[in-house]
Amino acid sequence: MRNGLLLYAPEDIRRNTWFIRELCQNAELEGVSLRLCAVQADQSPEEFFADAKPDLVLNRSRYKKFSEYCEEILRIPVYNSARVTAVTGSKFRTYQILGLQHGIPMAETWQIGTDDPLPDLPLPLVAKPDDGHGGEGVTWLADSAALEAYVQQTPRPFLLQKPVRTGWDMRIYVLGSEIYSAILRTSDTDFRSNFSLGGRVQAVQPDACAAALVRQITEILPLDFAGVDLLRAPDGCYVLGEIEDAVGCRMLYQETALNPARDLIRYVCRKKGY
């Protein structure tokens, strides 16, 4: 029996209990004993791995330092890779690398650091934390009063973004850098379309333009299992919103007959040659 570790932040374990159990049970069927481990942002990877010598690691904690230590020091494969977690863990880094460096279409984004003056930007704007997920902390700033209030109340750094079509996005699930499934998320009551915030969801088939954009992204940043969120620009084209590293799978279980826990484990084991 081979040994694997499944890393989660403590606050994410309770709401992912069922999916964690599915991952562990499917790993067992593939000859891998997958052990759940809670890891903290301030925890030392050296201390954590002092007595742990796994054959593989699934890192769903979003903490890149554990992945980096596994790959660079222990020479253990991590899914997703340390590079994926490092890029996607920061929305601004995603914008810099995929948008500015590689030309992937994205909404124009500004990072407002501790000592940065607030630039003169056209309103409305969308404000969000650099490391947020699930729509948490994303705020619509309709006018200068809302912008001023947000700036006064929000710790820096934060991001300001030029809005695109609101209440609509397509989450494309990627497994092994190939499109696995896609879910259209819409909302009539919130500019955010997140399922966790009450958005409607529907399984869809990505069109050729969406598939081509995902292919461009995965050629730059190979993804073992992640969610690529595409938005609609005013001209009808797609732009990349963000990439979810530790992507949730509730929508897939609700809207499709797929089994992402089983398929992720099988993919990892085949990639390892098990």
Predicted pLDDT of residue 53:
85
Cβ neighbours, 10 Å, residue 140? 15
User: What domains can you pick out in the chain, each with its CATH number?
Assistant: 2-86 (3.40.50), 109-161 (no CATH), 165-262 (3.30.470.20)
- Are 98 and 217 spatial neighbours (Cβ–Cβ below 8 Å)? yes
pLDDT digits (tens, 9 = 90+) for 197-245: 456 899 999 999 999 999 999 999 999 999 999 998 877 789 999 999 9
- Are 171 and 182 spatial neighbours (Cβ–Cβ below 8 Å)? yes
d(CA 143, CA 29): 55
Give the list of residues 6+ apart from residue 230 with CB closer than 8 angstroms, or none: 169, 170, 171, 172, 210, 213, 214, 238, 239, 240, 241
pLDDT digits (tens, 9 = 90+) for 101-153: 999 999 999 999 988 888 889 999 999 999 987 777 889 999 999 999 999 99
CA R_g for the chain: 19
**DSSP one-letter string for 112-153:** E-TTPPPP--PSSEEEE-TT--TTTT-EEE-SHHHHHHHHHH
The angle at the Cα of 60, spanning 16 to 182, to the nearest 5 degrees, equals 75
Predicted pLDDT of residue 69:
96
Tokens of 109: 């984004």
114: amino acid identity, one letter: T
Distance from the first to the final alpha carbon of the chain = 11
pLDDT digits (tens, 9 = 90+) for 77-104: 999 999 999 999 999 999 999 999 999 9
- If DSSP codes are grouped into helix, strand and coil, which group holds residue 110? strand
